[in-house]
Amino acid sequence: MAYENLILEIAGGIAKVKINRPRALNSLNSATLDEIAQVAKELEENDEVRVVIVTGEGNKAFVAGADIAEMAPMTAAEAMAFSRRGHNALGALEYMSKPVIAAVNGYALGGGFEIALACDFIYASDKARVGFPETTLGILPGFGGTQRTAKIVGLARAKELVMTGKVFTAQEAYDMGLVNKVVPHDQLTEAVDEVAAKLLSNAPIGVKLAKDCVNRSLYLDADSGMELEARSFGLCFATEDQKEGMGAFLEKRTPAYRAK
């Protein structure tokens, strides 16, 4: 489908989704959130797509936050619905069966940082700035920031990030374990393409089930998590991917996996 606030490019098994509201620093309004949810559904159902990259159009912002002009006049009920809209959109990214990489090319504040945290990996430009400035505006992160952050960095650090409203450099975010890699601004695309290519070279089923196991590890007790891992490990042996991967290893050749 055609998108008004996104640019979607698909080539060679990789889908690139660009948030495309550069005049508003790619801020998230209701329409953009709905389009993110829709594009995630579209890419989930596209068997040719194996890796998804999310970034912002332009060189200044990944996503500078939610659209304050839209939010300012909201009632409590409208704001609650807006938050749930954000949860739906970002959850659609987080729970895609395919790996999702955030290429943070500039400001990733508030809802923008929440989008990045919903992705599997975050690669950031050294010019990027991240944070949750919501408390400086009389609100709090409403698109999952209060929930995902603590699971990544722990309660004390998450409280500092969320409650102070401080904006951090990409390097500071990396040092806290929030970002996978920081690269020079003009090398961001190359770095993200490189990790996407590595993911493409691996078995689709293995990557899919590994993502599911790791995601669910945050919510399962130890015994349930180990059982999920054992079942997923076993399921791999009923697939062509396992036969191809191990066969290629024994035959000393490069495996040739097919899109699923």
* Residue numbers annotated as active site: 114, 134
Measured from the Cβ of residue 214, the count of other Cβ atoms closer than 10 Å reads 12
For the chain, the first-to-last Cα distance in angstroms comes to 22
Kindly give the residue spans of alpha helices, DSSP state H, lying in the chain: 30-45, 68-71, 76-94, 111-118, 145-153, 155-164, 170-175, 188-201, 204-217, 222-236, 240-251
Coil, helix or strand at residue 29: coil
Encoded tokens for 203? 């078995």
- Alpha carbon of 59 to those of 20, 27, 103, 175, 197: distances in Å? 12, 14, 12, 24, 23
The DSSP result for 189-249, as a single string, is: HHHHHHHHHHHHHS-HHHHHHHHHHHHHHTTS-HHHHHHHHHHHHHHHTTSHHHHHHHHHH
Residue type, 110: G
Encoded tokens for 150? 């603590």
